[in-house]
Amino acid sequence: MDKRDHSFSFGDRLLAHTGGWYPIIVLFIAQLATSSLGLLLAAIPSHVNAELSFAQVDDLLAVGGIALLTRNIILLALMYFISRQMFARLVKWSKSQSSEPDIDDSLAWKQATSFSWRYILVALASLFCLVLPPVLIYMHLAFAASPAQMIYVALASGAAGFGLAVLENLSIEYLMMPVRQALLPRQFEAQLNNVKSFPLLTKNLVIIIALIVIGLLLVAPVGYHQTMTALSGRLDPQRLVQSLQIQLIVASLGTLLLGLFLAYLMTRSTSAPIQAMIRTFGKVENGDLSQRVEVTATDEIGELMIYFNHMVARLENLQTSMEDRGAFRTKQLNATLEVGRVASATLDPEDLIAKIVNMITDRFGYYYTAIFLTDSTGRWAELKNATGAAGQALKERGHKLEIGGKSMVSTAITTRQGCIALDVGAAPMRFDNPLLPDTRSEIALPLTIGERVVGALDVQSTQEAAFDEEDINTLQGMANQLAIALENARLFQEMQKSLEDLRIAQRSYITEAWSETAREHEAYEYAAAPETAGTSAGQAALDVPLTLREQVIGELHLEGQQDWTPEERNLVEAVATQAALAMENARLLEESRQMALRERLAAEITGKIWSSPNADFILQTAIKELARALRADEASIELKME
């Protein structure tokens, strides 16, 4: 039981200290209380109806007490013999203070639930076999009692015996609650077995019939005795009526009080478990599914308690399972989001693949995770990264799988669908890797970008059937994110390469352009790779490069009589930057003007050529205009015909 309401804490403590002796102590307490009370209840009717003297009653009490003591000792031994599995199980329980499953659980549980009723049946039988015969024999031998007197004593003893049997049964049932709690089996089916030692209807009928029999045995002898006394004429009618009234009132009150007391105990034994269930149900309704009701009854109410506990246990397991499943799905979702964050933040494909495989393995506790990418030929799926020592070994030796071969990775790439093996031993299309001997289930998912498959994600687990539908969807979502991230990383690298090529071409163009400009304008002082200028003694020099699009085209050299402050240096650098831009703009403007002039000159020459009437004029015009435009000292045109 998960949580117990220790309403019977004294019995629990006594059971913990006494162990297998506890049922014997319970029987001894019940015998001690009921035997004394039974002798007293049997003595009063015997004195009144059988007309025995007080001395004779004392003698009968002594004989009956000895007979009861002998009978009680025999009953203790007999109950120990017929319930020895229960006693042995209690000894084990007292040592470990737990109810772990045992081979004798069911039998011990059966003996514990039927213990009180077995005792009562044996007790009633022993009362009429071991106690009443010695008393009647003693009456006949010692008092020369008449048959009527012995009948009265037998009826009084029977009434007391029936009443006290019911009282013993209810008290033993109550005192044996800790034993039933200790021996309650863990398994639901074992709990149901023999829980109804006596059905509720049978139990109530037995108690009601016992009360009726007690009433008859107490009231009927009074009426019979007074009738016989009236017929004998020993008492006058008035005294006879008074005696009859007093005896009937006393017998009726005794029967009524005994009936009320037994009825209270009976209803209490029925209502207490129901109230306990109501209290527990209230706690369960408030959300505490760890609560359990104590199985204190041994009838249909006890069976209802077991079903109630089983229902609450299943609800708790369902809630726990849903919470665990929800937590696992949340973990999966967080892992998926984390994969997305890593994919969006990492632009190096190798670094991205390494992070993803380790993340999947760590977050979900899988045995092995690997990522394969197709090569340029489309024939092989190459291992790019994998987890564990096996993954490192496979990566170092360039592990790859043939697309179209016998492997789950190949199947996933070829079919563009996930390939799963819940039991790798029965999977026909699987590459058996000796470096991964503990694999029991495997899943391979394609990495798709649009209509193109770029590789596969391979995940392996040491558990059979480790992947369900939701796991497949989660991993496929990760695979799709990875594929997109890999494509983005590839495009980013291509773009970076193109930009780098463009920057190199631009730097080359700027270098050539300014080199040409420097040659054309000899007055410029130019240094493609600036050198530190010499300084006079006592002077401070400041060299600031003229940088244009990450390419140095010159240097600004300043000298002064004092050190340059950071503010002055910043000013010079800003001026140098603007100067480089202005120079480039001026160069581009000059280049544009020259180009415009060349185009205008070419247009003029072309116009004059087109206006010439024949070939001679065309040749003369062309050579004359080109010589004039280019300031050539000599120009000629030769026509060569093959």
Sheet holding 400-402, edge to edge: 400-402, 380-386, 368-374, 452-461, 441-449, 419-421
The answer to whether residues 617 and 584 touch, using CB atoms and an 8 Å cutoff, is no
Calpha distance 543→15 (Å, rounded): 99
pLDDT of residue 526: 46
Calpha distance 401→133 (Å, rounded): 97
Report the half-sphere exposure of 567 (CA within 13 A, side-chain side). Answer: 0
Tokens 């209802």 correspond to what residue?
Answer: 304
The structure's pTM equals: 0.53
Cα angle 385, 390, 391 (rounded to 5 degrees) comes to: 0
Of the candidates 387, 561, 375, which has an alpha carbon nearest to the alpha carbon of residue 460? Answer: 387
Topology classification of domain 347-495: Beta-Lactamase (3.30.450)
Cα angle 462, 470, 373 (rounded to 5 degrees) comes to: 65
CA 356 from chain centre, in angstroms, equals 25
Tokens of 286: 């408030």
Question: b/e string for 316-354 if b means 16 or more Cβ within 10 A?
Answer: beeeeeeeeeeeeeeebeebbeebbebbeebbebeebbb
Question: b/e string for 420-448 if b means 16 or more Cβ within 10 A?
Answer: bbbebeebeebbebeebeebbbbbbbbbb
**Collapsing DSSP states into helix, strand and coil, what is residue 479?**
helix
pLDDT of residue 420: 83
Q: What are the per-10-residue average pLDDT scores of the chain (642 residues)?
A: 49 78 86 77 69 78 86 88 84 68 66 81 84 84 78 76 77 81 76 68 74 68 62 60 67 74 75 82 82 76 82 84 77 74 75 83 84 86 87 86 83 84 64 76 85 86 80 80 80 82 77 71 50 54 78 77 79 81 79 82 82 78 78 75 66
| DSSP states of 351-407 | HHHHHHHHHHHHHHT-SEEEEEEE-TTSSEEEEEEESHHHHHHHHHTT-EEETTSSS
- Would you list the domain boundaries of the chain? 9-312, 347-495, 540-611
